[in-house]
Structure formats: C-alpha cells, structure tokens
C-alpha cells in the first residue's frame, strides 16, 4: 500500500518529467457527477476521435479527452512506447488533481490504458479497451498508410481533395482515407509522421505487464482482426477478469460505426 507521501512524490515526478499533453475537459452537467472518464484515441488520431462517446458520457461524468504525444497539439518526442505514454496520461490526472478515473482507450489508446494499470493501479477504477489486445502485432500492418502520408507531404499537397486522390494510390479503403484527412490541415498532418514511422515497432508491439485483478471490458468489432480468439490467453494472463463483448457488423472503428451499441456496453460495465 502506497503512503500519502509516496503518492505525492510520484505525482510530482510525473508532472515534472512526463510530457504535458493537450487536453479538453468536459465537465458533467449533473450536480452529482460520478468518477471522471479519460478517453484516449488511437494511432493517427486526436482528442476529437472519441467525441461521440464523450457527448453521451459527460451527462453523468466529467470527461477528459487528450492528444497523446506526437499527435494533435501535444508535444513531439522521439521516445514513444507504452510506458512513457501511460506516464503522460497519469501526469495529466495529477495536474487535474484526479485521484481515480475510468480509462477508455481505442486501439493504441487501449494499450495505453492497459499500461496505466501497471504503473498506477490504485488510480484506475475501471478499464475499457476498444478493439485491441495486449499482444504484439505484425509490424508492417500500416506500411501503405505511411507511404500515403509521406507521398502527400513530399508532393507539397495543400488541399484535401488532391490529398485524397493521391492517397487512393496506396489505400483502398475510403473510410481510412476519410479518417486520416481529419488530421490534415493547411497542407500538414496533425501528427508527426516521421516519428510514428520510426517508432512503429514499439507502437505495434507490447511488453507483458503484471496481472491486474480488477474487471476489464474489451469491446471488439465482429469484422475486425485486432481481437482474435487466439488472443484470449494473452488477455486473461494479464487481465484474469476480462470480459469480451463483440459488436456485430462493426470493424476496427467500432465506436464510430456502432456508437449506440458501444455506449450501451460501456454503461452496463461502469
């Protein structure tokens, strides 16, 4: 059990040495707000990506949306792994004087949420992981996306229609192009393409963490390949009280495709 002095020292270290993330705090409209919720986006995303969840959840909870390092308006760093990203989020909680929170993360953000349980289990009330497993994935999954992003930059394209046309030479799924272009403004990407490419092995990878005994909800899209039956052993080894809920006819962006169903699952869990 950590003493109060140790917790204060830990919070001080986080606030002074972790990255100062850009964030948005949506305060609950109710007078009896429940445990705050932190929403963490995935790779190539930003704090707006889980806005469809925030708009509903803020009816009963204060909701913190954030930009992870090398994304959105948060600072850039050549160091990018799940330990440092988890420390960044914990430092934000310390800045906001939040002692305990519910953490919801999608894809890469889900791995950040899981990593937080290893660093500060006493600060996490519940964890909800959206369409990602605590495993290392094949490291070339996003090669075509990186090629498209770099091509747009190298050709000096400024306008989204032209960028979309070029990206179709690399990416066949229009939904992915549409998602990426949300972060294309005035001819620049709102994430650091070079750093993300250099650090991709860390992003796709995973270092097993100590067992976390509390319940964790994993939400997966039926049509997505990110949580497979073969991953169940890795999930339960690190989260023995894991519960996996499958959303039918949904892909990796399950929270955007089936928002009402995802919200219903979240509310049942919390």
- The domain ranges of the chain are 4-137+205-269, 143-197
Helix (H/G/I), strand (E/B), else coil: 19: coil
At residue 140, the pLDDT reads 80
The CA-based dihedral angle spanning residues 127, 132, 134, 135, taken in that order and rounded to the nearest 10 degrees? 180
The residues annotated with a catalytic role in the active site are: 107, 252
At residue 4, the pLDDT reads 46
Identify the CATH number of the domain defined by range 4-137+205-269. 3.40.50.1820
At residue 30, the pLDDT reads 65
At residue 14, the pLDDT reads 55
Q: What kind and span of H or E run contains 109?
A: helix 108-119
Mean predicted lDDT score pLDDT of the chain: 92
At residue 138, the pLDDT reads 83
At residue 11, the pLDDT reads 53
Backbone angles phi, psi at 129, to 5 degrees: -110, 120
CA 152 remoteness from chain centre: 25
pLDDT lower than 70: segments of the chain: 1-17, 29-32
At residue 139, the pLDDT reads 75
pTM above 0.95, yes or no: no
Q: What is the pLDDT of residues 51-60, one digit of tens each?
A: 999 999 999 9
Q: Provide the H-helix boundaries in 120-253.
A: 143-154, 160-167, 174-181, 193-198, 200-204, 232-238
* Residue 44 structure tokens: 């190539």
Q: What is the pLDDT of residues 146-174, one digit of tens each?
A: 999 999 999 999 999 999 999 999 999 99
Burial class (CB in 10 A: 0-12, 13-18, 19+), 77: middle
Q: 221 with 257: CB under 8 angstroms?
A: yes
């Amino acid at each position: 059990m950590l003493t109060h002095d140790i917790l204060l020292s830990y919070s001080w270290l986080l606030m002074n040495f972790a990255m100062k993330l850009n964030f948005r705090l949506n305060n609950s409209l109710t007078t009896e707000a429940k445990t705050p919720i932190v929403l963490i986006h995935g790779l190539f995303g930003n704090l707006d990506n889980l806005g469809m969840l925030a708009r509903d959840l803020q009816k009963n909870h204060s909701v913190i949306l954030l930009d992870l390092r090398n994304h959105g308006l948060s600072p850039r760093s050549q160091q990018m792994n799940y330990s440092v990203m988890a420390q960044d989020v914990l430092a934000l909680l310390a800045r906001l004087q939040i002692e305990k929170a519910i953490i919801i993360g999608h894809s890469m953000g889900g791995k950040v949420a899981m990593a937080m349980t290893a660093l500060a289990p006493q600060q996490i009330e519940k964890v909800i992981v959206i369409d990602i497993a605590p495993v290392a994935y094949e490291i070339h999954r996003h090669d075509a996306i990186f090629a498209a992003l770099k091509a747009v930059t190298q050709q000096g394209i400024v306008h989204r229609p032209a960028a979309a046309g070029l990206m179709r030479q690399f990416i066949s799924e229009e939904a992915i192009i549409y998602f990426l272009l949300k972060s294309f403004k005035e001819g620049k990407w709102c994430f650091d393409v070079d750093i993300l490419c250099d650090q991709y092995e860390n992003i796709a990878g995973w270092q097993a963490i100590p067992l976390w005994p509390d319940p964790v909800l994993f939400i997966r899209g039926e049509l997505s390949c990110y949580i497979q039956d073969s991953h169940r052993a890795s999930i339960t080894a690190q989260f023995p009280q894991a519960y996996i809920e499958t959303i039918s006819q949904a892909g990796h962006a399950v929270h955007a495709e089936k928002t009402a169903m995802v919200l219903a699952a979240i509310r049942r869990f919390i």
